[in-house]
Chains A and B, each alone.
Chain A
Amino acid sequence: MSDTAANVNAAETEYEPVVGMECHAELLTNSKMFCGCRNEFGGEPNTRCCPVCTGMPGALPVMNIQAVEHVMRTAIALNCSINPHAKFDRKNYYYPDLPKGYQISEYDIPIGVTGWLDIEVNGQPKRIHIRRVHLEEDTGKLFHVAGDESFVDLNRSGVPLMEIVTDFPPDIQSAEEGREYLTRLRSILTYIGVCDGKMEEGSLRCEPNVSVRPVGSNTFGTKTEIKNLNSFRSVYKGIEFETQRQAELLRKGERVVQETRGWNDTRQVTFSQRSKEGEEEYRYFPEPDLVPLHINEDWIERVRASMPELPDARRARFISEFALPPYDAGILTDTRAVADYFEETARLCGDAKTTSNWVMGDLAKLLNASGTEIGASPITPAALAEMIGLITDGTISGKIAKQLIEEMYATGGSPKTIVEEKGWKTIKDSGAVLAAVEKVFAANPNIITDIKVKGLVGKRGFLVGQVMRETQGKADPGEVNRLIDEKLAD
């Protein structure tokens, strides 16, 4: 809002958003939810289809146990209770990406209920309550080509899909909290290996519903649902835009229409897609083709025992076990792959803080620049640990290490071999360093005068730089400083 607008509206109502989150996660399984077709992103259209996932009459679905256990894992990670008796239902509607004319979903008895996820915004912890976690199947994909036709690809039809819904009344009250909730949720889902979390590929999708109310009020306004958000940034921007749009409507005395709104990422606006009123005619009824799911304590315990350490627990352990600053621990535990990489390296070299600096700094930069996941890093944890060892034992300087890591990244070579081949070892011989110092002094009489006579001590750094250059960065900086001081005192 511009300053002028703020002044004009100063006497008018300020509004705050109330946000519910509905997230869909495609589950990481080999096969689809109810048939043996491969579950994989992409592929030639309609090549991963069978009578079950194309809705042929008489074809019968059979539940994928891995998908069921992935939902159990998620429910456990989100502190939910697990319903001992769950069942599937048919959600009936007509759309060309839904070949059966119904989606198999869970209506009134989802697998997981009543949990929570803790977030932190600006140092303030907040608990976001979860209403339900349920299992369903994804639809096919529609392509809108020019003209009056659409194309249908059913490869995605029947892919196991998990829905996670926050509780009502909603806890999320800003775009920042919405983004943070999604960030934490994605982190948990990827940690426990149930979803790859790729928002740009649609394997994790988020549909916030947003309403606004006067600040401090406890009523609820009319909500809109935002679709097509395919990045954390667009989720943030989408909630923010909707909040402003609704607040402005209300300030003008107009009303908010309950509807689904699409996000246009180019124009950074939401646009009306369809009115939701009267649309909820899904005629749910129990899926007669699937028998109920009974989940006993033994089963839950077996699944619980198979789960890895969760991000929050790992963050806390990195702080206590490795004495890392909370900032480092937060970044390093954001994804399981980075946390695993860090932990392995830190254990091998025994210097956690130095490892953290390299992983978050130079290594992250190199990975980002080449768009590589840390799991595919050309530098293994063992190689990075070896490099850190070379710094610690004084074989190379920190400055050389910055060149070394680039070389290791480019060639995948061992740090010791590269240092040997390039002759990057620190010069331990004081005589050689002294010779370099003397050469620099002889070549820069004016600088020496500036420092010694005019007292321009700031120029001393130039001398250090020149000596390091003379020794190709291989001189021990402590030694260089000592020798320069001695020489200046002459």
Chain B
Amino acid sequence: MALTREDVKKVALLSRLELTEDEIDTQIGPLNDLLKQFEALQQLDVTGVEPTSHSIPVVNVLREDVVKPSLTRDEVLANAPESREGCFVVPRVIAD
């Protein structure tokens, strides 16, 4: 299946990318090529191959429930474009 302009717009929105009309046109081609490569992978016969979510044979990497020092608040907020009263300040999000 081939991606349409609408698909590209939707994916861009989900990724919070702002694409111009020209950029949408130039991206359709490479994106469809990418999908074709995955379609090629789907031709592989994987009968008898265990499904896996990870490529390394490691499981159960856990840590004990121990408290470690946190960063100072100044460090936490150091990269914030805007902060006040110890909080990150963001454009208003509506919750009610």
Cβ of A458 < 8 Å from any Cβ of B?
no
Contact: B93 with A142, CB < 8 Å?
yes
Cβ of B67 < 8 Å from any Cβ of A?
yes
Segment at the interface with B among A146-154, A178-186, A193-201, A439-447: A146-154
Segment at the interface with B among A28-36, A122-130, A448-456: A28-36
Residues in B with CB closer than 8 Å to A293 are 59-60
Contact of B70 among A49, A95, A290 (CB under 8 A): A49
Residues in B with CB closer than 8 Å to A291 are 54, 56, 58-61
CA distance A49 to B93 in the complex (A): 22
Residues in A with CB closer than 8 Å to B65 are 29-31, 64-67
0/1 interface trace, chain B 57-96, chain A, CB 8 Å (1 if under): 0111111111111110100110000001111111111111
Contact: B14 with A281, CB < 8 Å?
yes
Q: A interface, how many residues as a size bin?
A: 35 or more
Contact: A37 with B68, CB < 8 Å?
yes
Residues in A with CB closer than 8 Å to B88 are 46, 96, 151-152, 154
Residues in A with CB closer than 8 Å to B90 are 96, 149-152
Residues in B with CB closer than 8 Å to A45 are 73, 85-87
Cβ of B53 < 8 Å from any Cβ of A?
yes
Shortest C-beta distance, B66 to chain A (Å), equals: 6
For A54, give the chain B residue with the smallest CB separation: B76
Contact: A63 with B62, CB < 8 Å?
yes
**Total residues of chain B contacting the partner, CB 8 A:** 35
0/1 interface trace, chain A 37-50, chain B, CB 8 Å (1 if under): 11000001111111
CA distance A290 to B60 in the complex (A): 9
Contact of B93 among A64, A65, A150, A154 (CB under 8 A): A150
The secondary-structure label for the interface of chain B is loop
Contact of A62 among B58, B61, B85, B87 (CB under 8 A): B61
CA distance A66 to B88 in the complex (A): 30
Residues in A with CB closer than 8 Å to B86 are 44-47, 153
Contact: A38 with B87, CB < 8 Å?
no
Knowing A49-B71, A54-B76, A291-B56, the reply to whether A68 touches B95 (Cβ < 8 A) is no
Cβ of A144 < 8 Å from any Cβ of B?
yes
Contact: A87 with B16, CB < 8 Å?
no
Cβ of A262 < 8 Å from any Cβ of B?
yes
Contact: A46 with B73, CB < 8 Å?
yes
Knowing A47-B73, A283-B14, A292-B53, the reply to whether A31 touches B85 (Cβ < 8 A) is no
CA distance A154 to B58 in the complex (A): 31
Residues in A with CB closer than 8 Å to B56 are 291
Q: Which 10 A-B pairs have the closest CB atoms?
A: A36-B68, A66-B65, A151-B87, A286-B53, A152-B88, A65-B62, A45-B86, A96-B90, A294-B59, A49-B76
Residues on A close to B: CB < 8 A? 29-31, 35-38, 44-51, 54, 62-68, 87, 92, 94-96, 142-144, 147-154, 262, 271, 273, 281, 283, 286, 288, 290-294
Apart from A148-B91, A153-B87, A292-B54: 9 A-B pairs, beta carbons within 8 A: A36-B67, A46-B88, A49-B73, A62-B61, A63-B61, A63-B62, A63-B63, A151-B87, A154-B88
Give me 8 A-to-B residue pairs in the complex whose CB atoms sit less than 8 angstroms apart, sorted by A's number: A35-B68, A50-B71, A92-B14, A96-B93, A152-B88, A262-B96, A291-B59, A294-B60
